Amino acid sequence: MSEPSSDKNTVLMEKIVSLCKRRGFIFQSAEIYGGLNGCWDYGPLGAELKRNLKDYWWRKHVQEREDIVGLDGSILTHQAVLKASGHVGGFSDPMCDCLLSKARLRADQIPAQSGTIWWFTGATHAESGWIVTRDYAVLAKEGEDENKARKTARQYYAQFLSDKQISPKTLDLTGERSESVTETTRFNPENGSLLTEPRAFNLMFRTQMGASSDENDENAIAYLRPETAQSIFAQFKNVLDSSRVKLPFGIAQIGKSFRNEINPRNFTFRSREFEQMEIEYFCRPEDGLRLTDEWLEARLKFYEEIGIPREHLHIVDIPDGERAFYSVKTYDIEYEFPFGIQELEGIAYRSDYDLGVHQKGSGKSLEYFDEETKERLLPHVVEPSAGCDRTALALICEAYDEETVTDDKGKEETRVVLRFSPRIAPIKVGVFPLLKNKPELVAKAREVQKLLTPFMNVFYDETAAIGRRYRRQDEVGTPFCVTIDFDTLGENGDDLKDTVTIRERDSMKQERIAIRDLRGYLLDRIL
């Protein structure tokens, strides 16, 4: 994102958030109680949008393929599963932040140091009268000059200055005292600055299961899953034994996951509760890299089909050293959000790491027996893992458009349109009687509504002028609107009897179509 446009993008994002609330796409969770940090609720239209996205994903990747089957795993997860996967042990280490450099350090890796601690209670700047009161300390190791400690302290206090022109050197320190110390781990070895208290950084939500459970009962601990993948690996053998699947094959899952993010940000983009759409595609080791590339193409095609063009996506081939340690190859698919280019999906070739750790953890064989080659092997896996909420947000951002339209009198106005692909649009068609005070028009419109309702989400509206009703639907992305007028009733001859106007959202063009052809016309365009 280029620097000059960032203000514009912030404004754009604010408009999108505002539209989402106004029209019932996305609300803040528990808003009437002040909101719950990092949690969001989908309103009536958002729920439809997200459902359409998930349904299309499921249809394309599970129902229309013979090689992928579905799974719907429990959210509460056995602690043994997450111990085996590395989620419990891996990132539960307490971390400290350096108060000066803001570096984050693992508490257990800070070397014990000895020397003199120089404590301060604050700093003042005589000339401006500026004052700060805040405890701080610097460790001067044996042989180090105490003036170095004071210099470090001035740098620390200087960060609170509102006037950045003031030199740290001109600050006077207050409340100085010193004490000698041995074997302390509370100071940054790099610069001697005091660290924050160690804090646990495991991002998993932990809970206790069972009526008699208490916090001290280790066996009662369960976790909300931090990703949907693990239940697929844990159920690998059951799926294999019950479904007659043959390599290569995939297990797909859509569901909620939970991470106690330090810092939720960017509307729904980074939430503490989020939904994933994941496939674990199992294969022979020699096919892994090829399939990773094939999945990348398949997923890009999917995004194209739901209305996110290739030009707005970025593919990042994660280089050696930046991938997770178990991954042989990883692509990130990123989207150009108004707040920056951010990840929608990761496609990771994870080798046999996952099945390996669960085989080891459970003591059960997770090997696959190949009938043709009479060979036993632990399959490798390619994982296309997409964020559902992120994709829904990308769909809204991509669809949002403001258009200047000029009416017959030459008056200009702004039309806000969500240009959703018809297949994911929350409402597929609006049905309107031209006038609401003509009972024949209303009755006919209700008939048309009833005709279409079993096949798609239809919205009936009879209030306000017809143009207003069109604009209302533009703003929520409804691709088609059908209007019942006097021609429909046969007032201008039998040729037009039982025909309606159908108005297309993007072009605002209208055409006349027989009611009996409506269903087919619409279904052709929304599937």
Partner RNA sequence: GCGGGUAUAGCUUAGUGGUAAAGCCCUAGCCUUCCAAGCUAGUCAUGUGGGUUCGAUUCCCACUACCCGCUCCA
Q: Which residues of the shown chain bind RNA in the complex (CB under 7 A)?
A: 6, 10, 13-14, 17-18, 21-22, 28, 34-38, 86-87, 90-91, 97, 102, 104, 160, 196, 202-204, 226, 259, 261-267, 270, 324-325, 339, 405, 407, 413, 415-416, 434-437, 463-468, 470-472, 474-475, 483-486, 491, 500-501, 503, 508-510
State the DSSP string of 498-522: TEEEEEETTT--EEEEEHHHHHHHH
Least distance in Å: CB of 36 to RNA?
Answer: 6
Nearer to RNA by Cβ, of 68 and 132: the residue is: 132
Q: Which amino acid is at 189?
A: P
Pairing of strands 429-433, 458-460: parallel
Could you tell me the smallest distance in angstroms from the CB atom of residue 37 to RNA? Answer: 3
Do residues 383 and 350 touch, judged by C-beta distance below 8 A?
A: yes
**Between 58 and 201, whose beta carbon lies closer to RNA?**
201
Q: How far is residue 48's CA from residue 63's CA, in Å, rounded to a whole number?
A: 20
Residue 133 forms beta bridges with which residues? 122
Using CA atoms, how far residue 12 sits from 17, 122, 309, 339, 442, in Å, is 9, 42, 19, 9, 39
- Strand order of the β-sheet with 199-200 is 104-106, 94-97, 199-200
CA distances from 387 to 132, 293, 358 (A): 44, 19, 24
Given the complex with RNA, which of 244 and 409 has the nearer CB atom?
Answer: 409
Give whichever of 237 and 259 is closer to RNA, judged by the CB atom: 259
Q: How far is CA 28 from CA 32, 33, 205, 282, 368, in A?
A: 9, 10, 20, 38, 46
Dist. CA 434–CA 13, nearest whole Å: 35
Give least dist CB 39 to RNA, A.
Answer: 7
Tokens of 144: 């180090």
Strand partners, 77: 223
Q: How far is the CB of 322 from RNA (least distance, A)?
A: 9
Instruction: Tell which phi-psi region holds residue 373, choosing left (phi > 0), alpha (psi between -120 and 50) or beta.
Output: alpha
Which residues make Cβ contacts (< 8 Å) with residue 497, sequence separation at least 6? 487, 488, 489, 490
Enter the tokens of residue 233. Answer: 């690996």
Looking at the Cβ atoms of 95 and 424, the one nearer to RNA is 95
Tell me which residue of 21, 16, 55, 23 sits closest to 459, measured CA to CA. 23
Smallest separation, CB 1 to RNA (Å): 8
- Residue 70 and residue 242 in contact, taking contact as beta carbons nearer than 8 Å: no
The residue among 144 and 261 lying less far from RNA, judged by its C-beta, is 261
Q: How far is the CB of 150 from RNA (least distance, A)?
A: 21
- The sign of the dihedral angle between the CA atoms of 446, 452, 454, 460 is negative
| CB of 355 vs RNA, minimal distance in Å | 16
Here the tokens at position 101 are 């450099």
156's enclosing H/E stretch is helix 146-158
Residue number with CB closer to RNA (56 or 201): 201
* 240/484 with CB nearer RNA: 484
**Distance of closest approach, residue 247 Cβ to RNA, in angstroms:** 26
Nearer to RNA, 17 or 69 (CB): 17
Least separation in angstroms between residue 216's CB and RNA is: 23
- Considering the complex, state which of residue 112 and residue 464 has its C-beta at the smaller distance from RNA: 464
Smallest distance from RNA to CB 460, Å: 12
Nearer to RNA, 410 or 454 (CB): 410
Minimum CB–partner distance for residue 160 and RNA (Å): 7
